[in-house]
Structure 1
Amino acid sequence: MQQIAVITLGIAELPRSRRFYTEGFGWTPAFETDEVIFYQMNGFVLSTWRTAALASDMMRTDLMRPGAFALAHNVRDRDQVVPLIGRLTAAGGNLLRAPDEPPHGGFRGYVADPDAHAWEIAWNPAWPIDENGHVKFAVS
């Protein structure tokens, strides 16, 4: 299935970014913490994540600036994460972070494509994927 579940933008200041997206676009956050804000879009989720926290989550020290980003490919089942990361690294990707359980739940790992673009491969039981492959932000 060809889908992107989440686009994550690295940002410098969460309050400044929040103002831009909520007052400028009129968007409503689906979830937020001191590090990240998630916005439910039409079939995917946009997140704005404080750059240092995003770089730490990806285990990368070369992204310590605003403008960093990560793409995410969500899968329907936890047991799909490890095999997909294996196929991606066998096809020329670079493992950035081995799959593990993040503090906010689910199971994820990071792989960089041959040009160093980061992809999070994730399963999150709180983010259902419909029959069309659209992810929905949901908090249980």
Structure 2
Amino acid sequence: MQHQISVITLGVADLARSRRFYGDGFGWTPVFENPEIVFYQMNGLMLGTWLAGALADDLGRPVAAAPGLVSLAHNVPAQTDVAPVIERLCASGGTLVMAPSAPPHGGFRGYVADPDGHAWEIAWNPDWPISPEGHVRFG
């Protein structure tokens, strides 16, 4: 398995306020945005800011379960890679948070918590190609 983090997703209370901070403060330009989420292309990974309630719903956890709600993601090259990675992580001390499934926004994903409860999304997204070096790119 490649050593990579594909996406860091931060749960935010106010998407417009967050966009001002990252857009005006850092000067970052979104590569995608909708009413719930904004993605920024970073050096080889994606940073997402997602309304905390929507992220909590996707994780199947209450917002209060994690102040400063964060989800780390490890993207895989094929949909069929999602379940085996989740199984390996659970066998290595992780806890299944959500079984692999197809979310309404597309792709395929499941969630595993590390031994300290940090959520990892194991995901396949057909619109995010992965280079041979393991860099994920938006569309």
- Give TM-score scaled by structure 2 length: 0.95
Amino acid of the structure 2 residue aligned with 1:25: F
Q: How far off is 1:47 after superposition?
A: 0.1
- 2:69 equivalent in structure 1: 68
- 2:24 equivalent in structure 1: 23
The secondary structure found in structure 2 opposite 1:43 is coil
Q: How far off is 1:92 after superposition?
A: 1.3
Equivalent pairs counted in the alignment come to 138
- 2:136 equivalent in structure 1: 135
State percent identity of aligned pairs.
62
Amino acid of the structure 2 residue aligned with 1:131: P
Q: Whole-Å Cα distance in 2 between the matches of residues 20 and 123 of structure 1? A: 29
- Could you say what the CA RMSD is over the residues aligned between the two structures, in angstroms? 1.2
Superposition map of 1:37-116 within 5 A: 37-61=38-62, 63=64, 67-116=68-117
Amino acid of the structure 1 residue aligned with 2:87: G
- 1:118 equivalent in structure 2: 119
Consecutive unaligned residues of structure 1, counting only runs of 5 or more, are none
> Alpha-carbon deviations, 1:96-120, whole Å to 9, x = none?
1111111221100000001000000
Amino acid of the structure 2 residue aligned with 1:119: W
Judged with a 3 Å threshold, the aligned counterparts in structure 2 of structure 1 residues 74 and 6 are, in CA distance, closer, same or farther, namely same
Consecutive unaligned residues of structure 2, counting only runs of 5 or more, are none
The secondary structure found in structure 1 opposite 2:71 is strand
Q: Whole-Å Cα distance in 2 between the matches of residues 100 and 47 of structure 1? A: 20
Q: How far off is 1:63 after superposition?
A: 4.1
